[in-house]
Amino acid sequence: MDLFFMPLILLTIYLIYALLASFLFPDRRRPRMKLPLPPGTLGWPYVGETFQLYSQDPNIFFASKAKRYGPIFKTHILGCPCVMISSPEAAKFVLVTKSHLFKPTFPASKERMLGKQAIFFNQGPYHSKLRKLVLRAFMPDSIRSNVSDVESLAVDSLKSMEGRSIDNTFLELKTYSFNVALLSIFGKDEIKYREDLKRCYYVLEKGYNSMPINLPGTLFRKSMKARRELGQILAKILATRRQMKPEHDQHHDLLSSFMDDKEGLSDDQIADNIIGVIFAARDTTASVLTWIIKYLAENPTVLQAVTEEQEAVIKSKDESGKQRMLTWEDTKNMPLTSRVIQETLRLASILSFTFREAVEDVEYGGYLIPKGWKVLPLFRNIHHSPDIFPEPEKFDPFRFEVAPKPNTFLAFGSGAHSCPGNELAKLEMLVLLHHLTTKYRWSLTGPREGIQYGPFALPQNGLPIRMFRR
């Protein structure tokens, strides 16, 4: 049989099975409707409107729905009935005010790949403990000692890209962000495990958006095999750490935070959360950096201003006789570069939405959000609202000279489940941009229009560029 048709055949079988199951075994847990559901359509049984969502730019799908039905509407995607919300007030309600009524969740296939005990999928005391442990390793007091190591990784990454045509900038930057993630998790020991972890993780990530069909030859099956192997590698790393005598263990990384005996995390819990942190740290940061490179190339006036800011950092170090390596204090003296990062996070909105699930029937705006339904705050819709950000399609870092209104800038989420690694991500971007703008020039060599999703928003073809020394 032609292998080209195999995925289509497997998908067809899966959907037929799902359709029959939805008719033969209807969901009996559906609550009695005392309030109307939000407006909108649910599409076909089980399949819902998934094909409509992924057959076009997802943002067009969300924007057209919001225009037709308003800031709250229902749909059915990825096998789940969903309520979409696209106003700052609704986002605050779900993520902050009533966050205890909406647990974080992902599609079941992603939960299986990352691990159900990862921080993303939990709430309550267990989530609070995990968040405390992650923050312990990622707060400024902890990561400021890593600046020189992050800088070395940035310098090596850019050096590997210079003087050549780069077919996919995003893939190059994924290696950089992956190495920074491993550094933050394992400390300087990460070099010992980098290649094995990278090999398995690259297989795992290919299945993130695959249908959960556990048959030989499917991406899902291959990804789950890589996930098991990752667990075995992490078990060996944990065993090695435990063999170290306490007086010789000077680690202050995320793994050490997780292994703190007082916290009592199991090895499986540690593994789920390490894999989850890699997932959260890798593609997102690389995506943002890719967009920054595109926006700066298209806005030479902004690029010149950023370059001058970064050259001023170097000049101040030369005049004071300080070492040329960047310090934590240097990264706090880059206001325009920081605004470029903020504006990129807003305009690109690589995380278009997040998943929550109602843990009980919830009323909002006169509508019922039934227990078990997914709730998706649409970050991109909020970031691109002309009522909140004038000329929303324009790249304008100077708009962030005035702090945005509350609940309108949600690049790192909001509330108890906001991204605990945002300080590390900003450090990682600032350090790379310092060396990029002061040492290199680049030009775009591919199409300037178009967005692709995998699953995060990216410039078309991962942004092909040509990069050379200044």
Q: Which residues define the annotated binding site for heme?
A: 419
- Residue 410 and residue 383 in contact, taking contact as beta carbons nearer than 8 Å: yes
Amino acid at 44: W
Q: What are phi and psi of 307, to 5 degrees?
A: -60, -45
Peptide bond into 455 cis (omega under 30): yes
Query: Using the 8-state DSSP alphabet, how is residue 215 labeled?
Result: S
Q: Give the CA angle between residues 382, 388, 392 to the nearest 5°.
A: 75
Residue 45 CA to residue 289 CA, distance in Å, equals 39
* Dihedral of the alpha carbons of 363, 367, 372, 375, in degrees to the nearest 10: -100
Is residue 125 within a helix (H) or strand (E), and if so which, with residue range? helix 124-138
Among candidates 436, 438, 376, 383, which has minimal Cα distance to 407? 383
Q: What is the C-alpha separation between 81 and 50, in angstroms, rounded?
A: 11
Q: Which two tokens stand for residue 59?
A: 């943002």
Closest CA to 303 of 397, 393, 391, 383: 397
Q: Of the candidates 251, 288, 238, which has an alpha carbon nearest to the alpha carbon of residue 146?
A: 251
Which positions make up the binding site? Answer: 419
Residues 6 or more apart whose Cβ sits within 8 Å of residue 371: 29, 31, 358, 359, 360, 361, 362
Residues 6 or more apart in contact with residue 119 via CB below 8 angstroms: 127, 130, 131, 134, 273, 276, 420
Pairing of strands 356-358, 362-364: unpaired
For residue 368, give Cα distances in angstroms to 33, 38, 357, 377.
8, 7, 13, 16
What is the amino acid identity at position 149? D
Which amino acid belongs to residue 372?
A: G
CB distance 150 to 181 below 8 Å = no
Cβ neighbours for 145, distance < 8 A, ≥ 6 positions apart? 252
The one-letter code for the residue type at 323 is Q
